[in-house]
Homo-oligomer: A and B are copies of this chain.
């Protein structure tokens, strides 16, 4: 069960409100790299957690933290919108800077939300929950979480670079740090379970009989004009210690597909029957 403290997890100061930066910050709220996604992803993974209950605790604790990130980012968006222009009358249209702001800001910050944050990304596209990855497989979920935090830290670093507002830089430096920790903690679960050797291939419970292992450690080169790129994946032991990497040009092993004629009365054209 959730509870709330009226203070923000981190202080939010905006010295130079900037409606364009408000639009950009939305990516950190409602983008696929954003906080709604991680909050909900960890929450749903927690609700489906089976096995050692400490992972459930880990997930729900961090889900809860991410909800607090949404909250202070939402405040940052609203503060950046404080002085947004609300009309496009003649004098405004003639000032190119105002025109650029009016054209460049998210129009729905004016029209729909009344100058506050929305659950959308920097293009104004609403977040959709299909991005909540929760498979019931601990390894797959930990990789998904590290991925989300990697994307999140890339985004926060880019936002940090974009702004020169000291308050925003300070807030983003906190987010960057938390994303560092969250990358660490999800990968630490993999370390704790034996690293790549213990974890891979995911799922590690698939019976050997279900895998055509002659295809499991071979890099297939589908290029018609280049050699296979050489690297850790083309020779030496596999990361799971179960095989040896090799490589081979790809080639068809199957039939030419054919579905024959269409059924009568199946809604096809007569000439297909």
Q: Are A4 and B97 in contact (CB under 8 A)?
A: no
**Number of copies of this chain that the complex holds:** 6
A194 to B64, CA, bound (A): 32
Q: Are B114 and A48 in contact (CB under 8 A)?
A: yes
- Residues on B with beta carbons closer than 8 Å to the beta carbon of A12: 254-255, 257
Number of chain A residues whose Cβ lies closer than 8 Å to a Cβ of chain B: 201
Known: A103-B101, A176-B210, A210-B160. A114 touches B71 (CB 8 A): no
Known: A9-B1, A48-B78, A48-B117. A27 touches B128 (CB 8 A): no
Q: Are B1 and A86 in contact (CB under 8 A)?
A: no
Q: Are A206 and B153 in contact (CB under 8 A)?
A: yes
Q: Are B61 and A222 in contact (CB under 8 A)?
A: yes
Q: Are B110 and A137 in contact (CB under 8 A)?
A: no
Please name the 6 residue pairs, one residue from A and one from B, whose CB atoms are nearest each other, closest first. A103-B104, A114-B136, A48-B116, A123-B124, A51-B272, A8-B254
Complex interface residues of chain A between 151 and 180 (CB less than 8 A to chain B): 151, 153-155, 157-164, 169-170, 172-174, 176-180
A233 to B72, CA, bound (A): 25
Complex interface residues of chain A between 100 and 154 (CB less than 8 A to chain B): 100-108, 110-140, 143-144, 146-147, 149-151, 153-154
A258 to B200, CA, bound (A): 26
Q: Are A173 and B48 in contact (CB under 8 A)?
A: no
A186 to B130, CA, bound (A): 23
Q: Are B200 and A187 in contact (CB under 8 A)?
A: yes
- Residues on B with beta carbons closer than 8 Å to the beta carbon of A2: 2-5, 64-65, 67-68, 71, 222
A158 to B266, CA, bound (A): 7
A120 to B122, CA, bound (A): 13
